[in-house]
């Protein structure tokens, strides 16, 4: 049996972290690694004890949700909180970091950003990474399935929603169920 690569292993850790995200717009996970050892991890979500987007909705200003702290920032803050230097480490992120996270990554001394998916890759972020000597590497992520029979569960929920629709249930009630179902199966 072939083992997955280190890059796929650490990206899988980031994918797993993204399952803890409370953001309804995009679930992101980040893992900081030094010498093939995980030193911190984070996901995008609200401050400790704060309202979550999944409960209260996103708080959007200038097309950005200001309720959440991004996964990369949460991982870097975890390093700071526990006195673990991030300088010289690598970060694995499920999506290409936003401009603000790019600047924080540079300032923290991260040497390589491994990411699975392009996501609004800002040209200035690319320029800053290049100027700072931070390498960017896109890594293929492996599919991760949490739980058993996910496809069967998805089909069952879809059939229930179809039954509700044909039974004359109000469309706004059905829309609420569809939204919750979508959140259950979003990766």
3-state secondary structure of 116: strand
Q: What are the Cα distances from residue 96, in Å, to 72, 105, 166, 173?
A: 10, 12, 42, 35
Name which of 15, 26, 187 is nearest 116 in CA terms. 15
Tokens representing residue 76 in the block: 């870097």
Calpha distance 47→37 (Å, rounded)? 26
For β-strands 37-43 and 29-34, DSSP reports them as: antiparallel
140 part of the active site: no
Alpha helices in 36-149 (DSSP H): 53-56, 71-81, 99-108, 123-132
Choice among 56, 72, 140, 152 that is catalytic:
72
Catalytic residue list: 72
């Amino acid at each position: 049996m072939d083992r997955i690569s280190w890059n796929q292993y650490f990206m899988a850790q980031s994918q797993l972290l993204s399952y803890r995200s409370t953001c309804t717009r995009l679930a992101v996970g980040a893992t900081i690694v030094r010498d093939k050892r995980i030193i911190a991890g984070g996901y995008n979500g609200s401050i400790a004890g704060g309202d979550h987007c999944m409960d209260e909705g996103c708080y959007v200003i200038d097309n950005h949700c200001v309720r959440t702290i991004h996964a990369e920032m949460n991982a870097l803050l975890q390093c700071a909180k526990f006195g673990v230097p991030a300088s010289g480490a690598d970060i694995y992120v499920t999506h290409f970091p936003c401009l603000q996270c790019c600047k924080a990554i540079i300032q923290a001394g991260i040497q390589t950003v491994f990411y699975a998916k392009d996501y609004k890759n800002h040209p200035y972020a690319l320029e800053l990474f290049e100027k700072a000597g931070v390498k960017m590497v896109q890594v293929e992520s492996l599919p991760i399935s949490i739980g058993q029979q996910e496809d069967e569960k998805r089909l069952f929920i879809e059939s229930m929603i179809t039954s509700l629709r044909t039974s004359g249930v109000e469309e706004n009630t059905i829309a609420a169920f569809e939204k919750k179902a979508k959140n259950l199966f979003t990766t």
